[in-house]
Amino acid sequence: MHWRSEKIDGFDLSPPDDEQVHVLAVDDSLVDRKVIERLLKISCCKVTAVDSGIRALQFLGLDEEKSSSVGFDDLKVDLIITDYCMPGMTGYELLKKIKESSTFREIPVVIMSSENVMARIDRCLEEGAEDFIVKPVKLSDVKRLRDYMTAREFRVKNQQIGNNNNIKNNNKRRLRETCDLSSSPLSMLFSSSSPSPSLSPSSLSSPSSPSPCLSPLPSPPILSYSAPCSPTSLDSPTRRLKMSSSD
């Protein structure tokens, strides 16, 4: 099923592809910054790469001491991807600061780490991270993020259309069914995951728990969007961790 080209009732539901996804990448390693920047650019993202959490906050204008001179409208950061282990402010601390901000808490934050530690992953997801990628970062990881961002844009736009139609009292039931992705064929592939808005910490910490990636997300899980596009990205972050050879 191909979301992009779908037209329903004369509405063009394709996401705006003239607007590139703007990613703020945070990593203290120059080598890693160069690689992630290229991975994102080749996946058609606009990239701003900074070397610390402090600089990331400065760029966003969240830093108390020194704010970015760029206006908020120009920034339009769509996704933040950050390394976990950094001197000074860790990726986790940066995540917290972003989620504490009323302006920026809606921006999805993805954590990258070379360390394959469940407790760390759980902690990040609990704090509101959208995803956790084990380094080294590959093209398939970035593609998964890209698909998620596209679907997210699409969903937001649909909700806007849906709201407009409710007001106009026009085909609202039909449109809502079409836009309600939790009842879409895609999520039926993952029958275990009806998106649960609330997070139960106990289910995350138990060893036999399902992928933590699915339950904490209030929106439909990342997996349900990437599955039709690339079979390899069916693996959740945690399943990928188990499959990849750890240290």
Partner 1 sequence: MDVIVQLQRQIVDFTASLYREGYVDDQFTQLQKLQDESSPDFVMEVASLFFVDCEKLVNNMARALELQAVDFKQVDSHVHQLKGSSSSVGAARIKNACIAFRTYCESQDREGCLRCLQLVNHEYAQLKIKLQTLFRLEQQIVAAGGTIPVLQ
Which residues of the shown chain bind partner 1 in the complex (CB under 8 A)? Answer: 29-32, 34-35, 38-39, 42, 85, 114, 135-139, 247
User: Based on CB atoms, which residue is closest to partner 1, 36 or 204?
Assistant: 36
Report in angstroms how near the CB of residue 246 gets to partner 1 at its nearest: 10
Strands 45-50 and 79-83: unpaired
C-beta of 52 vs 215, nearer to partner 1: 52
Residue 41 CB, nearest approach to partner 1 (Å): 8
Q: Whole-number minimum distance, CB 26 to partner 1, in Å?
A: 14
Give DSSP secondary structure letters for the chain.
--STT-EETTEE----SSSPEEEEEE-S-HHHHHHHHHHHHHTTEEEEEESSHHHHHHHHT--SS---SS-HHHH---EEEEES--SSS-HHHHHHHHHH-TTTTTS-EEEEESS--HHHHHHHHHTT-SEEEESSP-HHHHHHHHHHHHHHHHHHHHHHHHHHHHHHTSSHHHHHHHH-GGGSHHHHTTTT-PPPSS--HHHHHSTTPPPTTTTT-SSPPTHHHHTTT-GGGGS-HHHHHHHS---
Tell which residue, 217, 215, 226, 218, has the closest CA to residue 189.
Answer: 226
Report the nearest approach of partner 1 to the CB of residue 30 (Å).
6
Cβ neighbours of 151 (radius 10 Å)? 22
Nearer to partner 1, 47 or 98 (CB): 47
Task: Indicate the residue among 42 and 70 with the shorter CB distance to partner 1.
Answer: 42
Smaller CB separation from partner 1, 143 or 176: 143
Residue with tokens 């009732």: 9
| Min dist. Cβ of residue 32 to partner 1 (A) | 5
Q: Are 241 and 116 in contact (CB under 8 A)?
A: yes
Of 114 and 219, nearer to partner 1 (C-beta) is 114
Minimum gap (Å) between residue 34 Cβ and partner 1: 6
Smallest distance, Å, CB 92 to partner 1?
17
Which is closer to partner 1, CB of 30 or CB of 70?
30
